[in-house]
Chains A and B, each alone.
Chain A
């Protein structure tokens, strides 16, 4: 088959077709002809600085680098001719001159591109007997270890920073023999994608710090897996040695994560085996915890559920598997209850009846980078969904207009318009864009639109959303966890109607989309089936005087934003059952039964990602002790309760039942109109101070919270009360002073950090961080008081 738009070349006597303008190495790679290389990487720009890929091209006077030589019709190439081989071997010899050859103590040994190529092209004895250069190692943070004497200056890591991560932190300073890779000044590399340079580095100059000296490549078994900390579901490989997860690396998937994974997805496994793992079922008897058999524990759970029947409820983490969510809701609905929710961080549920049943990103992950105008509402996409942040960056670099309406200023890696406002004014800013677009609504949203005086910026956003064919409105985590989420949603709906823009969501958790479709919500069943009596939502459920409540994968002190009132309410539930991988003082104080379950790679399970694809992963590790996969525990409970249809042999059985129920229901973000009568976050007091509670990148779920090295990064260092100079002056405090914060009648003390990107009358105090257990993690009004030393 010949295609006229392609050119034909001949490599080692074999005719190949290639896209005009593409490089030789792309054609040889596609044909499986191996050409050695170090600096070339398919996802990075061509640097052509290592010269390892030299090949012979007919009529060219000297060997040419395959990575930087465009194909030409009729070109004749020889990759293994004497000339090519001599050039390749020559390059190899030069590269090895300054390389320490310390493979026996190098973590890269066994999976090193330099080692592999040296075996094929290197001499067996070095002709170089002079001194080799040494380079001092640099400390670039808790994730990446450096051993820069091994560096061969391919600059892949530098190009990754500049081209993919969008943060130019690493560079090549000095010249010739003195050239060094580093940050030049002492500093850490802080990108949320930073650790991809470990995979990119062809030698052992950049390796994983936590994995250092832990295992050899050939001891590891590679298994495909799915990352579970955001709604992308990046494809990964788990590297396992004797039932221990040793590390996680990316698995290429062009339609999702390309060749990358976030640092969160890479290092969260470090939280798996902490001291606080729950490994045996436990029952509280007369106030004392006792280890019991599974049989006894399950019987106790079944008895409690049997007697509480429709008075039972469940809260389930958004990182649970689809199977777990599906079975849990099936179990409850079998008991006549719809008290189940997975939207644990949400506080405004007035939109329950208008939310789509099968929400998604609104476009495929690949198509995100093709958008021409994107408005993000309440999103720090870069830290919340790092891979989507990277796709959005590509859209922006290609010229898309990207705008954020946020309550805090977030540093981004591309040019964007930032509308940064007080948390209570986010609705007004969005209304101003809606007004500029001529959007129509009702109720309080209509009032906001009518009251808006759109500035040029608003008009410009509205126009661009209208004019561009590919325009998208995205509601982020901070919008979904906002006290006026319903109003933001209605304004988004109205704006999308007026501009013809698509809408999309960026929820928390690996099953932030799946939970709704699995029926783990109080307002409808699986795939949106209507139910007679809707249940209580996540905010109401603990306060609803239920007799039995199940917490699945929930750390109540961090995953439930209401703080003390919620903890007390849960403590007074007659039978509180926790299916958890960990024990902690809060669970132990409030629960009556603890059932040890698997997390992440320990269980088979599926996740519905942003692109509306269901991805399944195998259980790769046996869970510790007597812990069991959640779906199995729920299956047995179904059997003990004599419920019908709980005879599953595998997680796949559960999934197919769910899939049959969903059938061919399409992903659809259509939001119904919603008339709301008032704002929740509103104050007549001009001086009122709001707390903005963001969920930090490394606090999103129980596993990540336990991953030590992630907790040592700069991104995890958000444990203070941040405010601007004006507000600090008002309370007469300086950086480091203590302030007492009162929210919902609960007090807590935090030290102050002055951050002038914080808006007026606002303090930023993250959710789900140590110290917020009682005060909770909600955005809302607070009062402050200086604590005298």
Chain B
């Protein structure tokens, strides 16, 4: 398979920092040699976390080169799953569920409160770079709808007041 990527000819050891490379290698080791692309999801996550919380095309190209994949195959994965960010995100990425259960329980109100309070829409980032807003599908916490996720924490049964206090509590 021909893959047009100038990074493809680069020494694999120079594509990532030692730390990142080591973490990716742990995942690569879990799969048979000829299936090392299976580590693409983990690799993308590791690269995203090691930086500003989002992925650039160049970073995806590096993952492609490292795992011997065509770059487009990496773009497909990264653009498919909602946990990868392809645009810069704020220090706190607020993911609000608007799927059925949350919608029925008033996610609209939650969203508009956040819009007003932060002055941004979904997919946007505040001028100070502190917050970004993201619309997500069901996160499996329907029992606590409406809900949102910030970092790896779920916040449930949201009200505008609750949101204010949650945001105040963030560092």
By a beta-carbon cutoff of 8 Å, the part of chain A in contact with chain B is 162, 166-175, 183-185, 187, 190, 411-414
Asked if B2 and A183 sit within 8 Å, CB to CB, the answer is: no
Choose among A172, A184, A185, A412 the residue that contacts B2 (Cβ–Cβ < 8 A): A412
Q: CB of B1 within 8 A of chain A?
A: yes
Asked if A166 and B1 sit within 8 Å, CB to CB, the answer is: yes
Asked if A171 and B1 sit within 8 Å, CB to CB, the answer is: no
Asked if A173 and B1 sit within 8 Å, CB to CB, the answer is: no
Asked if A184 and B72 sit within 8 Å, CB to CB, the answer is: yes
Asked if B72 and A171 sit within 8 Å, CB to CB, the answer is: yes
Choose among B3, B57, B76, B82 the residue that contacts A171 (Cβ–Cβ < 8 A): B76
> Would A171 and B73 be within 8 Å (CB), given that A184-B79, A185-B57 are in contact?
yes
Separation of A89 and B20 alpha carbons in the complex (Å) = 51
Which of B1, B73, B75 has most A Cβ within 10 Å?
B1
Asked if B1 and A172 sit within 8 Å, CB to CB, the answer is: no
Choose among B1, B3, B81 the residue that contacts A414 (Cβ–Cβ < 8 A): B1
Number of interface residues of B (CB under 8 A): 15
Asked if B2 and A173 sit within 8 Å, CB to CB, the answer is: no
Residues of the A chain whose Cβ atoms lie less than 8 Å from the Cβ of B4:
167, 169, 187, 190
Q: CB of B35 within 8 A of chain A?
A: no
Q: How far is the CB of B54 from chain A (nearest CB, A)?
A: 16
> Would A169 and B79 be within 8 Å (CB), given that A413-B1, A413-B2 are in contact?
no
Residues of the A chain whose Cβ atoms lie less than 8 Å from the Cβ of B72:
168-171, 173, 183-184
Tell me the B3-38 residues at the A interface (CB within 8 Å).
Answer: 3-4
Q: CB of B88 within 8 A of chain A?
A: no
Asked if A173 and B57 sit within 8 Å, CB to CB, the answer is: no
Residues of the B chain whose Cβ atoms lie less than 8 Å from the Cβ of A187:
4
Residues of the B chain whose Cβ atoms lie less than 8 Å from the Cβ of A171:
72-73, 75-76
Residues of the B chain whose Cβ atoms lie less than 8 Å from the Cβ of A190:
4
Asked if B57 and A168 sit within 8 Å, CB to CB, the answer is: no
Which of B71, B72, B79 has most A Cβ within 10 Å?
B72
Residues of the A chain whose Cβ atoms lie less than 8 Å from the Cβ of B1:
162, 166-168, 413-414
In the complex, besides A169-B72, A175-B80, 14 extra interface pairs with C-beta distance below 8 angstroms are A167-B2, A171-B72, A171-B73, A173-B75, A174-B79, A175-B79, A184-B71, A184-B76, A184-B79, A185-B57, A187-B4, A412-B2, A413-B1, A414-B1
Q: How far is the CB of A182 from chain B (nearest CB, A)?
A: 9
Q: How far is the CB of A151 from chain B (nearest CB, A)?
A: 15
Q: CB of B90 within 8 A of chain A?
A: no
Separation of A183 and B1 alpha carbons in the complex (Å) = 16
Separation of A95 and B4 alpha carbons in the complex (Å) = 33
Contact flags (1/0) for B56-92 with A, using CB distance below 8 Å?
0100000000000011110110011110000000000
Separation of A171 and B3 alpha carbons in the complex (Å) = 13
Separation of A110 and B77 alpha carbons in the complex (Å) = 36
Q: How far is the CB of A174 from chain B (nearest CB, A)?
A: 5
Separation of A369 and B51 alpha carbons in the complex (Å) = 47
Q: How far is the CB of A289 from chain B (nearest CB, A)?
A: 48
Asked if A168 and B3 sit within 8 Å, CB to CB, the answer is: yes
Closest to B77 in A: A173
Asked if B75 and A184 sit within 8 Å, CB to CB, the answer is: yes
Residues of the B chain whose Cβ atoms lie less than 8 Å from the Cβ of A169:
4, 70, 72
Identify whether the interface residues of A are mostly helix, strand, loop, or mixed.
loop
> Would A166 and B2 be within 8 Å (CB), given that A171-B73, A184-B72 are in contact?
yes
Residues of the B chain whose Cβ atoms lie less than 8 Å from the Cβ of A173:
72, 75-76, 79-80
Q: How far is the CB of A180 from chain B (nearest CB, A)?
A: 9
18 pairs, A vs B, C-beta closer than 8 Å: A167-B4, A168-B1, A169-B4, A169-B70, A169-B72, A170-B72, A173-B72, A173-B75, A174-B79, A174-B80, A175-B79, A175-B80, A175-B81, A183-B72, A184-B72, A184-B76, A412-B2, A414-B1
> Would A411 and B2 be within 8 Å (CB), given that A168-B70, A185-B57 are in contact?
yes
Separation of A103 and B162 alpha carbons in the complex (Å) = 52
Residues of the A chain whose Cβ atoms lie less than 8 Å from the Cβ of B2:
166-167, 411-413
Closest to B70 in A: A168
Separation of A173 and B2 alpha carbons in the complex (Å) = 20
Q: How far is the CB of A42 from chain B (nearest CB, A)?
A: 22
Q: How far is the CB of B75 from chain A (nearest CB, A)?
A: 4
Asked if B73 and A168 sit within 8 Å, CB to CB, the answer is: yes
Choose among B3, B70, B71, B76 the residue that contacts A172 (Cβ–Cβ < 8 A): B76
Q: How far is the CB of A140 from chain B (nearest CB, A)?
A: 12
Residues of the B chain whose Cβ atoms lie less than 8 Å from the Cβ of A162:
1
Closest to A187 in B: B4
Separation of A167 and B4 alpha carbons in the complex (Å) = 9
Tell me the B110-153 residues at the A interface (CB within 8 Å).
Answer: none
Closest to B80 in A: A175
Separation of A169 and B72 alpha carbons in the complex (Å) = 6
Q: How far is the CB of B59 from chain A (nearest CB, A)?
A: 13
Q: How far is the CB of A113 from chain B (nearest CB, A)?
A: 25
Residues of the A chain whose Cβ atoms lie less than 8 Å from the Cβ of B73:
168, 171
Closest to B82 in A: A175
Which of A162, A171, A185 has most B Cβ within 10 Å?
A171
Q: How far is the CB of B138 from chain A (nearest CB, A)?
A: 13
Q: How far is the CB of A76 from chain B (nearest CB, A)?
A: 38
Separation of A239 and B4 alpha carbons in the complex (Å) = 35
Residues of the B chain whose Cβ atoms lie less than 8 Å from the Cβ of A183:
72
Separation of A174 and B75 alpha carbons in the complex (Å) = 9
Separation of A314 and B155 alpha carbons in the complex (Å) = 86
Residues of the A chain whose Cβ atoms lie less than 8 Å from the Cβ of B3:
168
Closest to B75 in A: A184
Closest to A180 in B: B79
Closest to B81 in A: A175
Residues of the A chain whose Cβ atoms lie less than 8 Å from the Cβ of B80:
173-175
Closest to A190 in B: B4
Separation of A167 and B1 alpha carbons in the complex (Å) = 6
10 closest A-B pairs (Cβ-Cβ)?
A168-B70, A171-B72, A173-B79, A184-B75, A171-B76, A175-B80, A413-B2, A174-B79, A167-B2, A411-B2
Separation of A183 and B5 alpha carbons in the complex (Å) = 13
Separation of A183 and B76 alpha carbons in the complex (Å) = 10
Closest to A184 in B: B75
Separation of A183 and B71 alpha carbons in the complex (Å) = 9
Q: How far is the CB of A406 from chain B (nearest CB, A)?
A: 16
Separation of A414 and B1 alpha carbons in the complex (Å) = 5
Closest to A173 in B: B79
Q: How far is the CB of A433 from chain B (nearest CB, A)?
A: 25
Separation of A383 and B81 alpha carbons in the complex (Å) = 37
Q: How far is the CB of B98 from chain A (nearest CB, A)?
A: 14
Q: How far is the CB of B52 from chain A (nearest CB, A)?
A: 20
Q: How far is the CB of B116 from chain A (nearest CB, A)?
A: 25
Q: How far is the CB of B160 from chain A (nearest CB, A)?
A: 29
Residues of the B chain whose Cβ atoms lie less than 8 Å from the Cβ of A174:
79-80
Q: How far is the CB of B93 from chain A (nearest CB, A)?
A: 18
Residues of the B chain whose Cβ atoms lie less than 8 Å from the Cβ of A411:
2
Closest to A183 in B: B72
Closest to B72 in A: A171
Closest to A382 in B: B2
Q: How far is the CB of A416 from chain B (nearest CB, A)?
A: 11
Which of A168, A172, A185, A187 has most B Cβ within 10 Å?
A168
Q: How far is the CB of B136 from chain A (nearest CB, A)?
A: 12
Which of B2, B70, B73, B75 has most A Cβ within 10 Å?
B2
Separation of A169 and B4 alpha carbons in the complex (Å) = 8
Q: How far is the CB of B62 from chain A (nearest CB, A)?
A: 14
Residues of the B chain whose Cβ atoms lie less than 8 Å from the Cβ of A168:
1, 3, 70, 72-73
Residues of the B chain whose Cβ atoms lie less than 8 Å from the Cβ of A166:
1-2
Separation of A173 and B76 alpha carbons in the complex (Å) = 4
Separation of A725 and B82 alpha carbons in the complex (Å) = 43
Separation of A168 and B75 alpha carbons in the complex (Å) = 12
Residues of the A chain whose Cβ atoms lie less than 8 Å from the Cβ of B76:
171-173, 184
Residues of the A chain whose Cβ atoms lie less than 8 Å from the Cβ of B57:
184-185
Q: How far is the CB of A176 from chain B (nearest CB, A)?
A: 9
Q: How far is the CB of A107 from chain B (nearest CB, A)?
A: 26
Q: How far is the CB of B63 from chain A (nearest CB, A)?
A: 14
Residues of the A chain whose Cβ atoms lie less than 8 Å from the Cβ of B75:
171, 173, 184-185
Q: How far is the CB of A141 from chain B (nearest CB, A)?
A: 13
Closest to B137 in A: A176
